[in-house]
Amino acid sequence: MTEVSNQSVDAQIKSAQTPAEQHAALALILGTSGRLAGDGQIADFVRIANQRQIDLSEIRYAQIAGRLVWASLPVPNPGRTILMLGPNQLIDPLQVQPAGQVIQQVCFDYAFKGVHMAQALIDPLAVDVRSIYLQHAFMEMAELLYLQANVRRPAPPPPLPEGFLWHTYSSQTHAQFVGAIIDSYAQSLDCPALNGLREVEDVIQGHQAAGAGAPFDPLLWRVLMERETDRSQRPCGVLLLSRTDQTDAMELVYLGLSLHARRRGLGTIMMKQALASVLADNRRRLTLAVDSRNAPALRLYFRHGLQKIGSKIALMRDLRPLTLAQPS
């Protein structure tokens, strides 16, 4: 672990306006194992950033005596959030204070652009980097486990129990999805610290933007309804899928069940539906991220062939207090 220094350093915080500044900042942001990223890796990232309309001039970086020591690329997402991409390593104790200054500057700038939440995903071993974010009002939400399954065996969509039916997403069913998503948060073990921090419409916009650049397809979103009478139904759960820019993969963005619908075998039906949807779309992999503490969900996913391929620590900061603290 790098020893944290209390020494004050004279750092300049700048925006990366030129290609040369952006290249130098990305070399630091994308670097691993104490090494800067190479030209090829940077070029690949720039190509993807251009495809996804990520503005590299929004990079903020810190310099000490002309040497770039920290950088952050904020990536805005629908739902009034940003993902802050930054180094996952701390090499020099003198980076601590400039890193905090850059993080604070990005948060301040985007709070006044109407962004509500900032997120950072940190390598679990990068304890020092995580500490810097925590010192600047970020909260640790969860360790996210990234899971993947190769889907090979064709299977028809599973039959639903008597009295249940699927609805796909549309403007007419939007309220059903809202109700199902809100109900699924009750006693949920999936990132429970997030409950109540975001408006549900922002959550839905964020889910619709999942898939790493692939367009949202409402036919891949399903809400599970249970008939109560001939004229009334109540939402029981949601299954939200998204294509990704990898042509062989589909992402399970969110799977949630209302409290009254749990322990009835419906999670198994929803997972089988997800796997059937992958093959029906001529894809071969299902990917997802899940809170490492969500034991029921992990049992469900492992039972259906998913395996861990990586993990990140998810950190979040509510930016709204920054605007409230400013004098009118």
Q: Is the pLDDT of residue 138 over 80?
A: yes
Per DSSP, the three-state class of 188 is coil
Percent of the chain residues topping a pLDDT of 70: 94
Q: Is residue 36's pLDDT more than 70?
A: yes
* 29, 61 Cβ separation under 8 angstroms: no
- Cα end-to-end span (Å), the chain: 43
Q: Please name the amino acid found at residue 239.
A: L
Name the one residue in this structure whose structure tokens are 């310099």. Answer: 63
pLDDT digits (tens, 9 = 90+) for 234-262: 899 999 999 988 778 999 999 999 998 89
Residue 4: the pLDDT is: 40
Alpha-carbon Rg for the chain in angstroms: 22
Residue 328: pLDDT band with limits 50, 70, 90: very low
pLDDT given at position 233 = 87
pTM of structure:
0.89
Q: Output 222 or 93, whichever has higher pLDDT.
A: 222
Phi and psi angles of residue 267, each rounded to the nearest 5 degrees, phi first? -60, -40
Q: What is the pLDDT of residues 97-106, one digit of tens each?
A: 999 999 999 9
Residues 42-75: pLDDT tens digits? 999 999 999 888 999 999 999 998 889 999 999 9
Residue ranges of domains in the chain, CATH in brackets: 12-137 (3.40.630.30), 148-309 (3.40.630.30)
